[in-house]
C-alpha cells in the first residue's frame, strides 16, 4: 500500500541538518480519545487527521500517536497483534498514510509508538508458539519455561507483573503446562530479544514505518527488552508498578544498548532526521543518559520531572540533575508533566493556577517538551469513573487499587454543550466525559484571553519567536524564598511555587504570565502559584 512518497511533502529537510528535535514541542495524541471521525465513540485516525490544523495553530512541532495497530486492546493497544496493520477501530493504512502526508504539508512531524518488549497473545507468532507446544523452536521467540515444584505448578521465578500478580502464566492445554513470561498483562507475552528472528522482525517493522514517512518512534518499555541471563530470582519483595525504577533483572540491562545502536543506524539511513525517544524508567538520570549516547537514541522521557512535587527546591534539583546528566552525551533535556499513564498534572499539583504556571515553567526550560492532549485545556483527571467502564488492566489485576489510568484517558471536549462535546457525532464516548466539560472545550476557550488554551497558544508562539528558548542553557538568578528565577538569552522566567505572593525587582518587560501581574516602581509582585516570562 505504501505509495511513492512525494519528496516535496515528506522530505522537507532532506540533506539539511536542523536538529529539529532538540527544541521540539511534541504533542501526544492518545488516538482513542482525541477525535472520533466516524461517530462510534472511539477516536480514530481520520478524526486526528481532521484536527491537525488545530495542532498547527496551537503551535506544536510534532505529534506522537499512541498505538493504532491491530490489537485486542487488552492494554490500550500496547498489546499489538500485527505491527504492520491498523486496527479497524482506528482506520486503515491509507488513513495513517493520509495523516502523515497532511501533517507534513502543515510542517508537523509524526512520531509513532513502537512496542518491542511484548506483543499481544493474538500475535501470529505467539499463537503458533502455543499451538506447537513445548520444545518447539517457535517458543524460543518468547520466554517459555517449565514451572517449579513437583508438578511444575509454581512459576519459574519470583518476578511479578507491573500490573500486579505473577509475571508468568501457565499454558492450560493438556500435556503442556509450560509458563510464559509477561512483564505486563498475561495478554502481553514478552519477546525473547536474544533470538535473531525477533531482532530481524523489528528491523523490518522500523523500515516499514520509516518507508511510510514517519519521523520517528516512541519506544515503549525501552529499558525492558533484554533480561538478565538465566532469568534470576529477585530474591526479595519489590513493590511493582508501571513507574518502578528499582534495579531489577528485567530492566535497564546493558544488553539493550546494542539494539539501539543497531536501530540508530537504520534511522540514519533515512533523510529528514528521523528520531527515537525512549520510554525508559531507570534508577537515575545518568542511567537514562546512556540511551542517548551519540550512536543510540535521540531523547528519553524525563520521568523524574513527572514525579516531582510542586516544590521549588525539588524542581530546581531535578532541572539541574537533568541538564548535568544530558551534557556529557550532548542530548537535549526533555520535559513532560502529563501522559496517558499518570494522573493529569492539574489534579496532581492540586489546582489550575499551578498547572498553568507549571506549563510556562516547563516550556521555558532548555530542550524539548512533551504535551499530553487536553493539558492545553487545563483538563483535570476524571476521578469518578464508574468501575463498570474501566479498562486499565491493572485495575482488574489489583482489585482496583491501581486502576488510575483511565481517568486521564477520557475523550477531550472540542465544543458544543452536550456529550460528546464535539469529540464525535455520537452522544457518548468509550469513556464517559464528566458533566460540564463544555466549559473546558476548545470552542469555549478559543478567543478568551484568560483561558488556558490561549495561554498555551501564546507560550508556543513566543517559544518560536524568542531565540533564547528551546535548546540551550540556563542560568539561575537570585530569587525570594519559594521562587525559581532563571535567565536564558534575552529572556527570564520567574515562577512562584510558594504559598504567598513574592516581591522582586522586575527583570524586564512582561512577555506572558499565567496570572495577572502588577509591576510598579521597578518591582513585581508575583502571585503564589504563578509564572511570568520576561523579555529582557
Ligand atoms: C508503557 C505505556 O505507556 C503503557 O500505557 C503500557 O501499559 C505499558 N508501557 C506496557 O506496554
pLDDT tens, position by position, 8-48? 555 545 456 789 999 999 999 999 999 999 999 999 999 99
Rounded to whole angstroms, the Cα distance separating 525 from 532 reads 10
**Residue 307 · residue 298 · CB < 8 Å:** no
Partners of 509 in beta bridges: 535
**Residue 194 · residue 258 · CB < 8 Å:** no
pLDDT tens, position by position, 405-455? 999 999 999 999 999 999 999 999 999 999 989 999 999 999 999 999 999
Q: Is the CB of 278 under 6 A from ligand 1?
A: no
pLDDT at 1 over 50: no
Q: One of 107, 258, 268, 269 is an active-site residue; which one?
A: 269
Burial class (CB in 10 A: 0-12, 13-18, 19+), 381: buried
The answer, yes or no, to whether the previous bond of 420 is cis (omega within 30 of 0) is yes
The model's pTM: 0.96
Listed in order, the ranges of the chain carrying CATH 3.90.400.10 are 124-181
pLDDT band at 115 (very low <50, low <70, confident <90, very high): very high
**Residue 106 · residue 10 · CB < 8 Å:** no
Q: Residue range 278-282: average pLDDT?
A: 94
Listed in order, the ranges of the chain carrying CATH 2.60.40.1180 are 474-535
Read off the C-alpha cell for 299. 531523547
Q: Is the CB of 241 under 6 A from ligand 1?
A: no
Q: How far is the CA of 30 from the centre of ligand 1 (A)?
A: 12
pLDDT tens, position by position, 355-385? 999 999 999 999 999 999 999 999 999 999 9
Q: Is the CB of 281 under 6 A from ligand 1?
A: no
Read off the C-alpha cell for 111. 512520531
- Superfamily of structural domain 474-535: Golgi alpha-mannosidase II (2.60.40.1180)
Partners of 502 in beta bridges: 526
Instruction: Identify the CATH number of the domain defined by range 8-119+194-230+239-459.
Output: 3.20.20.80
CA distances from 91 to 42, 96, 361 (A): 11, 8, 37
Q: Which residue has the cell 533484554?
A: 226
Helix (H) or strand (E) holding 509: strand 509-513
Q: Is the CB of 61 under 6 A from ligand 1?
A: no
Worst-scoring range by mean pLDDT, 235-249, 309-323, 396-410, 413-427? 396-410
% pLDDT > 90, the chain: 90
pLDDT band at 339 (very low <50, low <70, confident <90, very high): very high
Q: How far is the CA of 77 from the centre of ligand 1 (A)?
A: 9
- Superfamily of structural domain 124-181: Oligo-1,6-glucosidase; Domain 2 (3.90.400.10)
Which residue has the CA at smallest separation from atom 6 of ligand 1? 78
The pLDDT value given to residue 16: 60
Q: How far is the CA of 92 from the centre of ligand 1 (A)?
A: 23
Q: Is the CB of 78 under 6 A from ligand 1?
A: yes
Taking the CA of residue 221 as reference, the ligand 1 atom at the shortest distance is 9
Q: Which residue has the cell 499454558?
A: 171
Listed in order, the ranges of the chain carrying CATH 3.20.20.80 are 8-119+194-230+239-459
The pLDDT value given to residue 11: 54
Active-site residue, 481 included: no
Taking the CA of residue 79 as reference, the ligand 1 atom at the shortest distance is 11
CA distances from 92 to 48, 113, 117 (A): 13, 16, 24
Q: How far is the CA of 220 from the centre of ligand 1 (A)?
A: 6
Q: How many C-alpha atoms does 28 have within 13 Å on its Cβ side?
A: 22
How many H helices and E strands in the chain? Answer: 15, 21
The pLDDT value given to residue 6: 42
The pLDDT value given to residue 104: 98
**Residue 499 · residue 350 · CB < 8 Å:** no
The pLDDT value given to residue 247: 86
Amino acid at each position: 500500500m505504501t505509495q511513492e512518497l512525494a519528496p516535496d511533502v515528506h522530505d522537507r529537510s532532506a540533506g539539511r541538518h536542523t536538529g529539529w528535535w532538540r527544541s521540539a514541542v511534541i504533542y501526544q495524541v492518545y488516538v482513542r480519545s482525541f477525535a472520533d471521525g466516524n461517530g462510534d465513540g472511539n477516536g480514530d485516525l481520520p478524526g486526528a487527521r481532521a484536527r491537525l490544523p488545530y495542532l498547527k495553530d496551537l503551535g506544536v512541532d510534532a505529534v506522537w500517536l499512541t498505538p493504532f495497530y491491530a490489537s485486542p486492546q487488552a492494554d490500550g493497544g500496547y498489546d499489538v497483534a500485527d505491527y504492520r496493520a491498523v486496527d479497524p477501530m482506528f482506520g486503515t493504512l491509507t488513513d495513517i498514510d493520509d495523516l502523515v502526508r497532511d501533517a507534513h504539508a502543515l510542517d508537523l512531524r509524526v512520531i509513532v509508538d513502537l512496542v518491542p518488549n511484548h506483543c499481544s497473545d493474538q500475535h501470529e507468532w505467539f499463537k503458533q508458539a502455543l499451538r506447537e507446544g513445548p520444545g518447539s523452536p517457535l517458543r524460543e521467540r518468547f520466554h517459555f519455561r517449565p514451572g517449579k515444584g513437583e508438578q511444575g505448578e509454581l512459576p519459574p521465578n519470583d518476578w511479578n507483573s507491573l500490573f500486579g500478580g505473577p509475571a508468568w502464566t501457565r499454558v492450560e492445554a493438556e500435556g503442556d503446562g509450560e509458563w510464559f513470561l509477561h512483564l505486563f498483562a498475561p495478554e502481553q507475552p514478552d519477546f525473547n530479544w536474544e533470538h535473531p528472528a525477533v531482532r530481524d522482525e523489528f528491523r523490518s517493522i522500523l523500515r516499514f514505518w520509516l518507508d511510510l514517512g514517519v519521523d520517528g518512534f516512541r519506544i515503549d518499555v525501552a529499558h525492558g527488552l533484554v533480561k538478565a541471563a538465566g532469568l534470576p530470582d529477585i530474591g526479595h519483595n519489590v513493590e511493582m508498578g508501571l513507574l518502578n525504577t528499582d534495579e531489577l533483572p528485567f530492566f535497564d540491562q546493558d544488553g539493550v544498548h546494542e539494539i539501539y545502536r543497531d536501530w540508530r543506524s537504520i534511522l540514519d539511513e533515512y533523510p529528514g532526521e528521523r528520531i527515537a525517544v525512549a520510554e525508559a524508567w531507570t534508577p537515575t538520570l545518568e542511567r537514562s543518559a546512556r540511551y542517548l549516547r551519540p550512536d543510540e537514541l535521540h531523547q528519553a522521557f524525563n520521568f523524574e520531572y513527572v514525579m516531582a512535587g510542586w516544590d521549588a527546591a525539588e524542581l530546581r534539583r531535578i532541572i539541574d540533575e537533568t541538564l548535568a546528566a544530558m551534557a556529557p552525551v550532548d542530548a537535549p533535556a526533555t520535559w513532560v508533566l502529563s501522559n496517558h499513564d499518570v494522573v493529569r498534572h492539574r489534579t496532581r499539583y492540586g489546582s489550575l493556577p499551578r498547572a498553568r504556571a507549571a506549563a510556562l515553567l516547563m516550556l521555558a526550560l532548555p530542550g524539548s517538551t512533551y504535551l499530553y492532549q487536553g493539558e492545553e485545556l487545563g483538563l483535570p483527571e476524571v476521578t469518578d469513573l464508574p468501575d463498570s467502564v474501566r479498562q486499565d488492566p491493572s485495575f482488574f489485576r489489583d482489585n482496583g487499587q491501581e486502576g488510575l489510568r483511565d481517568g486521564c484517558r477520557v475523550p477531550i471536549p472540542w465544543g458544543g454543550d452536550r456529550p460528546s462535546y464535539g469529540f464525535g457525532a455520537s452522544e457518548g464516548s468509550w469513556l464517559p466525559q464528566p458533566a460540564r466539560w463544555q466549559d473546558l472545550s476548545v470552542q469555549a476557550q478559543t478567543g478568551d484571553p484568560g483561558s488556558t488554551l490561549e495561554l498555551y497558544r501564546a507560550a508556543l508562539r513566543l517559544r518560536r519567536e524568542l531565540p533564547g528558548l528551546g535548546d540551550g542553557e540556563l542560568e539561575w538568578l537570585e530569587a525570594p524564598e519559594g521562587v525559581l528565577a532563571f535567565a536564558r538569552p534575552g529572556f527570564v522566567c520567574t515562577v512562584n511555587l510558594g504559598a504567598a505572593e513574592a516581591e522582586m525587582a522586575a527583570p524586564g518587560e512582561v512577555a506572558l504570565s499565567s496570572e495577572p501581574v502588577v509591576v510598579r516602581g521597578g518591582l513585581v509582585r508575583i502571585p503564589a502559584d504563578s509564572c511570568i516570562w520576561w523579555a529582557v
